[in-house]
Structure 1
């Protein structure tokens, strides 16, 4: 008889407590191998694929795409043949921590233990193990339903829904519980419209409207798409329901929520100031062309303008270390940091992220450019790890790619400064006493006024502009 093992959402590291299901990679009835990725989730740091430590047949999934699950909540159950190699290897795999992620915890020992499934409880003939495996994706899955598994995991008859449901309430989202508490709703009196009776936010909001006399009854017991739960009207039109288009409620969670929290905290805590300067980037662009072999003599990968500006930043931070620091509020100390971990803003389909080039002070322009290219590709593919998105000490923001000249960027908390770079465009410029058309760029520096005064910030920005206008200035530090 097969054994049904429950796999729970593992601790993904970096203090993360929940994750949003972006895409299921398996379905009920699919055969999975040990360490095969089964679901793609998004945390406040990045999108990751979660592998299952067991090999067998998927008997249940928990959570719809777009829903959030806390760490430790069931993800799926897998039927494994008792005594099979998959079972033993799965247990071992589940006990191995993976890079950037902790292992799931918890086991119910003894025969006859019970594990939740999508259609009720299923008797298990052994321990219910929970773990987090490591490894690469395996071959494409096959969809089968072995007779032994089908016989061992029958679908129970649905029970009538009582007025008050005993036992744990079928609620996953802490937001749903909070909303119910705020309006003094008893969740046990609600019938969830999610899978297996899961109570969704839309169910609680329907009950709130019913209590307020806005609707006659909650929604019928039916499956609701994940997107519907976040597209409820904010308020009815003055002339009644359906009189106008409904506003959309878009939850701030995942990467977008983390960015919102960090920017709000930066505004609350950091007394920032901004200074800016226009610089003639004609010589910098000419130097880049020479580096990239305009005449066919240079070898190696091409160097980007962003890589050159990043190298200029590391030289400037060596001269003005005040801007490569952070503020310890509890100790009331300014902490100057020895290494430059250079972040750069990257726009992706899922929002703004800031990958970090480690130890940028020890890299040349070519090395920085190669790392920026690698991190940018990973960001667009959603493969950045939490470690690649944290620990920055200074950020470079190239908003010129959006076709704008200037900006006053918000500091990436807990850093002390951010350099903004506008677009490089031909403009009239006085060059060597004569009016000429030159390649001009606007540079802006937003800095924490606690770590330095305007004189230091101005000196830093002026050095950046001097290097842009005369790249030979950098030769003194190479």
Structure 2
């Protein structure tokens, strides 16, 4: 008999505690190899393919696509060891046995760090004869005459295990005062899914009051409703609060948590200045007009501003730091890991250009382009979204002039850049139409005072107005 092993959602690193199932890559009955990706999940930072550390036959999957699971929750079970030679499709019974013979897993987490086991053809094995763990099924005793069988309750009426696998489903039921024993699951073998609980919650909120005053028995949905929901049912539709509820989870939830923490912990202040960017735009046009084999890719305005930031941080290292609250110390960081805000369909993300202080404008621009494309396709790795020391936020792409950005915790500062537009400007003593941009710096007042922040911002503005100033630091 094969041994059935349970594979739980692993720790994906970078402090991530949960993930949402986007797409299953295997089905029950499939033969999988060690370190073969079995599910694609979306964390608060990126899309990740999760490999299975066991080789064998998939006997159960836990969670539908769209279900959010915490780290440590069961993902699937795999029967490893000898299997019955009842293989459908190509191949022989011995092939299936060889595929499932590796009972030890690599224990690896992310794709690319596997043991290199050769991949096997995807085959379906009939699950007869394979033992399924108790977590996948719930045995129910037959009901006594005249007694209604209740899921999770034995024939003697004593509460037994409930057909729920996901901790999130249990938590949702607790929050709404639902008795899971009263619900019939729509999943395999009566498994109670999140959709079942949400349906019961909606039913409880929409249930009408009792038809007669003399009837004391309420419907099962009303009995399991929350006190607030029961009040709404009794008072009628006018007492209910209408509106669409959107869960704060995934990228949106991570952004909300981080921004709220930044405002709670960081005493921030903002200073800003208008700068004449005409010469900077002319310098960029000159750079990009150079042709030939060694010309390289076009240099973006964001890349030039990023290079200016690294030069400014070399002069004002106080702003490339973080605060150790417990030790009451300011930690100045030697490397500049420059984050830049990127708006995607999944929400706002901040990819990080590593060791930006060692790159020129062309190198920074190439890395920004690569990370931006990865952000749009949802293929950024968690390591590419963490570890930033300073953030550049170009909100001018949204057609706005100014903003007071919130610091990307636990960093100490963020430079905001508005749109570059023609405006009347006094140039060399005369009124002229120049290309003007507003620059704003939000900084942690614990790491420096206004003089340092003003000096940093003024240097950035000087480099924008006179790019030759930057040559001194190259």
TM-score normalized with structure 2 length:
0.79
SS of equivalent residue, structure 1 residue 218? helix
Greater gyration radius? 2
1:406–1:443 contact (8 Å) kept in structure 2:
yes
SS of equivalent residue, structure 2 residue 289? coil
Mean CA deviation greater in 372-381 or 260-269: 372-381
Matches within 5 A, 1:424-439: 424-439=420-435
1:290 aligned onto 2:283: no
Write the deviation string for residues 29-53 of structure 1: whole angstroms up to 9, x where unpaired: 4444443322111223322111223
1:281 aligned onto 2:294: no
Name the CA distance, whole Å, in 1 between partners of 2:381 and 2:300: 24
Q: Quote how far apart the aligned CAs of 1:375 are.
A: 1.3
Question: 2:214 corresponds to which residue?
Answer: none
* Residue 333 to residue 6, structure 1, CA distance change in 2 (3 Å): closer
1:75 aligned onto 2:75: yes
Name the CA distance, whole Å, in 1 between partners of 2:152 and 2:208: 22
* Residue 274 to residue 237, structure 1, CA distance change in 2 (3 Å): farther
1:344–1:396 contact (8 Å) kept in structure 2:
yes
Write the deviation string for residues 29-85 of structure 1: whole angstroms up to 9, x where unpaired: 444444332211122332211122344543322101221112222212344561843
Which one of the candidate residues 86, 99, 117 is aligned to 1:86? 99
Question: 2:150 corresponds to which residue?
Answer: 162
Question: 2:376 corresponds to which residue?
Answer: 380
* Residue 134 to residue 75, structure 1, CA distance change in 2 (3 Å): farther
Question: 1:197 corresponds to which residue?
Answer: 191
Q: Quote how far apart the aligned CAs of 1:198 are.
A: 1.8
Name the CA distance, whole Å, in 2 between partners of 1:209 and 1:346: 40
Write the deviation string for residues 260-283 of structure 1: whole angstroms up to 9, x where unpaired: 111001111111111111111111
Name the CA distance, whole Å, in 1 between partners of 2:235 and 2:425: 59
TM-score normalized with structure 1 length:
0.79
RMSD of the alignment, in Å?
3.7
Name the CA distance, whole Å, in 2 between partners of 1:387 and 1:441: 32
Name the CA distance, whole Å, in 1 between partners of 2:137 and 2:9: 26
1:218 aligned onto 2:211: no
* Residue 80 to residue 173, structure 1, CA distance change in 2 (3 Å): closer
2:345–2:376 contact (8 Å) kept in structure 1:
yes
Name the CA distance, whole Å, in 2 between partners of 1:16 and 1:308: 33
Question: 2:43 corresponds to which residue?
Answer: 43
* Residue 329 to residue 2, structure 1, CA distance change in 2 (3 Å): closer
* Residue 440 to residue 238, structure 1, CA distance change in 2 (3 Å): farther
Q: Quote how far apart the aligned CAs of 1:192 are.
A: 3.8
1:366 aligned onto 2:381: no
* Residue 339 to residue 326, structure 1, CA distance change in 2 (3 Å): same
Question: 1:457 corresponds to which residue?
Answer: 453
Q: Quote how far apart the aligned CAs of 1:421 are.
A: 0.7
Give ranges in structure 1 of 5+ residues lacking alignment. 102-132, 220-232
Name the CA distance, whole Å, in 2 between partners of 1:185 and 1:78: 32
* Residue 98 to residue 40, structure 1, CA distance change in 2 (3 Å): closer
Matches within 5 A, 1:308-319: 308-319=304-315
Name the CA distance, whole Å, in 1 between partners of 2:51 and 2:137: 29
Name the CA distance, whole Å, in 2 between partners of 1:449 and 1:467: 24
Write the deviation string for residues 99-136 of structure 1: whole angstroms up to 9, x where unpaired: 799xxxxxxxxxxxxxxxxxxxxxxxxxxxxxxx5669
Write the deviation string for residues 422-467 of structure 1: whole angstroms up to 9, x where unpaired: 1112222222222222221111111111111112111111110110
Q: Quote how far apart the aligned CAs of 1:469 are.
A: 0.8
* Residue 85 to residue 11, structure 1, CA distance change in 2 (3 Å): farther
1:187 aligned onto 2:180: yes
